[in-house]
Amino acid sequence: MLPATGRPVADLLAELDRLKAADLPTRGENVTAYVYDSGRPEVREAAERAYLAMLEVNSLDPTAFPSTVALERAVVAAVASRLGGDAATPGIFTSGGTESIMLAVKAARDARPDIAAPRMVVPVTAHAAFHKAGAYLRVAMDTVPVDPATFRADPQAMAAACTQDTVLVVASAPSYAQGVVDPIEEIAAVAAERNLPCHVDACVGGWLLPWLADAGAEIPAFDLSVPGVTSISCDLHKFGYAPKGASVLLFRDAAMRMAAYYACAAWPGYPIVNSTVQSSKGAGPLAGAWATLQALGEDGYRQLGREALEATRRLVEGIAQIEGLEVLGTPQATLVAIGSSTLDLFALADRSRARGFFLQPQMAVDGLPASVHITLTGVSAAGIDSMLTALAEAASDLRADGPAKPRTDLVELVAQLDLEHMDDATFASLLPAAGWETAVAPAPAGESGEGGDAVERGEAGAPAMAAINNLLNALPPHQRELIIKRFISVLYSPHLDA
């Protein structure tokens, strides 16, 4: 609730610390997903102070705040210079990978007003952000199977999926789930032969692969230097190590960027012209990204790339020694997916988390197996031995149990539920039976109160997610989607807390 009188800042910060106690770590070698730590206090300080210096500035109007134009030009030019472009390459600074992808899809769609029912051709390994863009922008998806051994997209199958209504062809460098780079040259050629734009999703790899290549890794060409690639997305809030809210979308030509823009003068207020989905937007993330790039410089990124690569090699070699675990495909970046045909991977994730390492659950889809994901950064190396020990111990504990056995009674029960029309209270009442333990942070002071004691947790305070993950994994994707939407609806309904 809103306090009747204002509270002192120390009080508020203490409360934030308390609320964050159950969060995953955001710094150090135990970070394996969601956040990227450069491990350099001076870089973090640069980002923090630059962010705060621009805290109140609004990028809505570039004529009112010319500082934002200078910063965006500098950030876009820096990224273009490493991704096959130059000082003239048109770009947009966005809030993240999803927004970059959304705008790339909008540009491709709006460049073809002659097509009434536009479609895009994507490998099944493409990021969910393309499905989201398709849903928001009404561009239908043609998802194409990938090679089941390498997890790389199949250019011939993608060519076969192109139709009269295709407005965009997509490839990843690398894909998030398995960390492998699609055959960009071939896919871009498929698109170019048909006069179609080709977007390379280098959200996670755009600011990583170039430095890995400098460190000696074999990285195929994937950027605007490849003929036929017409746009590319690169998140600075991932391997750029910038604070969240930072991505760059580059176009080969300005006409395509124009199709991403939006303007509206048909209302009585100020004429709107936006390069992004947001209109009013804080300049903090832009300043934070600019400062991080400047503070690290080429040497800094090269060093972080070398260290992340080394950490990945050690992890991949170590996993090969653990009975029951395998690395999926041949990761070309520093993202690793662990698979298993003999162990319960989601139970492995719970046990690793209890030992300090979060493994991100990834569900089976379209014939691709379930896995758990680890992203390795420049600071991961210090934790690789402990991570491998945690994985080996967890695997050994689980070996006697065999592969995951989702409860068929629950799978059948859930399959019969009318999830679309059920109310949240009914859904909430079913959660404990499905294996869900309330794992929300204790409510802030002044809210409902106790909270903390109701939190049921597994060993070492880590939530046990295996039952629920195995249940989801056993259901078709559409049902998973209905369940997880219901789930957040319940999560954001404090009155339904058990």
Ligand X SMILES: *Cc1c(COP(=O)(O)O)cnc(C)c1O
Contact with ligand X (CB under 6 A) among 154, 182, 201, 223:
201
97 binds ligand X (CB under 6 A): yes
Nearer to ligand X, 374 or 394 (CB): 374
To the nearest whole angstrom, how small is the minimum distance from the Cβ of residue 455 to ligand X?
27
Which of 92-100, 102-110, 265-273, 450-458 is the region at the interface with ligand X (rule: CB under 6 A)?
Answer: 92-100
Percentages (nearest 5) of helix, strand, coil residues in the chain: 45, 10, 45
Measured at the CA of 80, the angle between CA 74 and CA 86, to 5 degrees, comes to: 95
To the nearest whole angstrom, how small is the minimum distance from the Cβ of residue 243 to ligand X?
12
Is the four-CA dihedral 428, 430, 434, 436 of positive or negative sign?
positive
CA separation for the pair 28, 18 (Å, rounded): 19
Contact with ligand X (CB under 6 A) among 204, 359, 387, 483:
204
Sorted by sequence, the CB contacts under 8 Å of residue 443 that are 6+ apart come out as: 449, 451, 494
Tokens read off for 256:
């395509």
Which of 13-21, 103-111, 196-204, 433-441 is the region at the interface with ligand X (rule: CB under 6 A)?
Answer: 196-204
CA separation for the pair 385, 44 (Å, rounded): 26
To the nearest whole angstrom, how small is the minimum distance from the Cβ of residue 430 to ligand X?
30
Which of 20-28, 74-82, 94-102, 280-288 is the region at the interface with ligand X (rule: CB under 6 A)?
Answer: 94-102
Amino acid identity for residue 341 in this structure: S
96 binds ligand X (CB under 6 A): yes
CA contacts within 13 A on the Cβ side of 424: 15
Buried/exposed 187-225: b ≥16 CB within 10 Å, e otherwise? bbbbbbebebbbbbbbbbbbbbbbbbeebebebebbbbe
Which of 49-57, 153-161, 201-209, 349-357 is the region at the interface with ligand X (rule: CB under 6 A)?
Answer: 201-209
Nearer to ligand X, 135 or 498 (CB): 135
Contact with ligand X (CB under 6 A) among 30, 32, 89, 98:
98
To the nearest whole angstrom, how small is the minimum distance from the Cβ of residue 263 to ligand X?
24
172 binds ligand X (CB under 6 A): yes
Considering only residues 229 to 258 of the shown chain, the ones binding ligand X according to CB under 6 A are: 235, 247
Q: Which residues bind ligand X (CB under 6 A)?
A: 96-98, 101, 127, 129, 172, 176, 201, 203-204, 235, 247
